Structure 1
C-alpha cells in the first residue's frame, strides 16, 4: 500500500495537470517516465479525482487521435490506461487484422499473458513516438486481468486487434515501448506508410525491407 506521503504528490500532480482546459500534453520517447514501471494503483487518487483523470485521458486519446493512452504517457506513473477503438476500417482490413470495435474502457493494474502459441505481426504506431510506425509480432490472444475504474475485477480473453491494443498499453505501464518489440528493419515514417505500406498485412513490406514475420 502507498503511504499518505506517497499519495499526496501523485494527487497533486494530477490536480495540476487537470487545472488547464483541453487535452493533456503527451510525453514523448526520451522522457524517463516512459521507462519506469508504473506504480500499482491502490487509491492514490480519490474517486472524484480518478474520474476526472480518466475523463481527461479519454479526451486526450480522442484528440490525438489514438486507440489507447496510458497514464505514463501524460507523465503520471500509475498503472491506469484507457482504450477505445471504433475500428472504422474496410472489411478486408477487418478480416486480416481482426480489427473489431473495442468500446471505451478503463484498465487499472492490468496484466496479460499469452493464450496459445499463435502470433500476429502488424504495423503499430504510438502517440509517444510520433511520426513513425514499425511491425510488432505479438500473441494473437491474451488473458487480460486487472480491474476497472470502480474496482471490479477483469479476467477475460481478448483476441485480434483489441488484444494488440491491450498489450501495447499494458507494456507502457511496464516501461516498455513498442519499439522494444519491433522488427527494426520495418521502421517506417508515416509518409512511407501512406505511400507504400497501406496493405492489410505487412507481407509486402517484409519482402521489400528484409524482415521476417512469424509462421
Structure 2
C-alpha cells in the first residue's frame, strides 16, 4: 500500500471539543483561516456527525462556512479546512465561466448544498482529467483523473437523508470535498508531473482541457 492510498488515522476529537471549536468559529468576527497542507487536521479522517452540534450552532456554522467559501473564493469547503475535524462540507458553484471551458469540463451551476457524512460511488467507467486546485494548497494546481459521474448520499442539516447523482464539474466538486473528510488531498490523486504553480498554469496551460500540458510535461 503506497503512502497516497494508506487510510488516514481517525480524529480523536471528542464531541465536547468539536462543539467548543465550532462555537469559537461562529463567534469570531472574521472568517476562519483556511488551513494549509501540512496541518494535521487535513490528514485525519473527520469525525462523523452524530449530533455534536445542536441545530442552532450547526446552522450558524454552515453560514460561516458558506461565507468563507465565497470570500476565498472557492466552490467547496470542508470543515477540516477551517480546522474542525467534522464530516461537514459546503458546496456551491455559481461563478461565471468561459463557455469553451464550461463545455469541455461539463461545468454547470451547482446550487448550494451542505452535506453531513457524505459518501460517493462512481457511476459507470467514465473518467475525466482536468487541472484542479484547492484552497488548502494555495498557489498550485495539478491534473486529477476522477469519475465523470458519481452517486452521492449525505444527511442535510435538517437531519434528512439525501441522495443525488452528479456529473461533470459538479461530480468533481463532490469528490474533492468528500475526500477532504477522509484526510485525502487532491495531490494524493494527481498526476505528479502535471503539478504547476498558478502563474505557470495561467501562462501556459489554461486551456479547456489538459491535453497540451500532458504532451508537453509528459503525463
Q: What TM-score do the two structures reach when normalised by structure 2?
A: 0.92
Aligned pair 1:201/2:201, yes or no? no
CA distance in 2 between partners of 1:45 and 1:113 (Å): 28
> Pick from 9, 12, 16: which aligns with 2:24?
16
Within a 5 Å distance, the mapping from 1:121-140 to structure 2 comes to: 121-140=129-148
Deviations 1:87-141 (A, max 9, x none): 4112211110000000111011000000000100000000000000000000000
Measure the CA separation in 2 of the matches of 1:113 and 1:23: 32
* 1:110 corresponding residue in structure 2: 118
Runs of at least 5 residues in structure 2 that lack an aligned partner in the other structure: 1-12
Q: Which residue of 2 aligns with 1:101?
A: 109
- Cα RMSD for the two superposed structures: 1.0
Is it true that 1:50 corresponds to 2:58 in the alignment?
Answer: yes
Runs of 4+ in structure 1 displaced over 4 angstroms? Answer: none
Query: Number of paired residues?
Result: 207
* Structure 2 counterpart of 1:91: 99
Name 2:165's counterpart in structure 1: 157
What is aligned with 2:82?
74
1:32 aligns with 40
* Aligned mate of 2:178, from 155, 170, 183: 170
CA deviations 1:166-214 (Å, max 9, x no partner) are: 0000000000000000000000101011101111000000011000xxx
SS of equivalent to 1:135: strand
Residue 188 of structure 1 corresponds to 196
Measured after TM superposition, the shift of residue 22 of structure 1 is 2.3
Structure 1 gap ranges (5+): none
1:18 CA displacement: 2.1
Within 2, Cα distance between the matches of 1:79 and 1:200?
32
Mapped contact 1:120–1:139 kept (Cα < 8 A)? yes
Q: Measure how far apart 1:6 and its partner are.
A: 2.8
Once residues 178 and 33 of structure 1 are traced to their aligned partners in structure 2, the CA distance between those partners, rounded to angstroms, is 15
